[in-house]
């Protein structure tokens, strides 16, 4: 009888660890400061950045482009007459600006 209770306790204890809920993963957001950029021509942008702009900002044109020493790009996009500033890495990933 004692072995029966011990076996039941082990089974219930072993399955309790599998019943925990997993925490959702937090997305990784790269951050960037808006300082230290120098203006470049749009034709000097990496292909990955140009592809990301075409994919995510359909119909936008690059009004101005800037780069910093970490090869992060600040882009001023003209979309239907409005200007929007976005930041991208050299691999075409969008970055979040911090002040």
| Residue ranges of domains in the chain | 30-98
Summarize pLDDT for 8-23 with one digit per residue, the tens.
777 776 665 555 555 5
Single pTM value for the model = 0.65
How many residues are given for the chain? Answer: 99
Q: What is the 3-state secondary structure (H, E, C) of 20-79?
A: CCCCCCCCCCCEEECCCCEEECHHHCCHHHHHHHHHHCCCCEEEEEEECCCCCEEEEEEE
Class assignment of domain 30-98? Answer: alpha beta
Per-residue pLDDT tens digits for 76-96: 999 888 899 999 999 999 998
pLDDT of 88 reads 93
Per-residue pLDDT tens digits for 52-71: 999 999 889 999 999 999 89
């Amino acid at each position: 009888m004692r072995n029966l209770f011990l076996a039941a306790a082990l089974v219930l204890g072993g399955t309790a660890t599998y019943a925990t809920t997993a925490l959702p993963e937090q997305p990784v957001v790269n951050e960037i400061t808006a300082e230290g950029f120098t203006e470049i021509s749009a034709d000097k942008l990496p292909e990955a950045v140009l592809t990301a702009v075409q994919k995510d900002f359909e119909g936008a044109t690059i009004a101005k482009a800037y780069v910093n020493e970490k090869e992060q790009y600040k882009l001023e996009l003209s979309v239907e007459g409005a200007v929007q500033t976005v930041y991208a890495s050299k691999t075409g990933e969008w970055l979040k600006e911090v002040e």
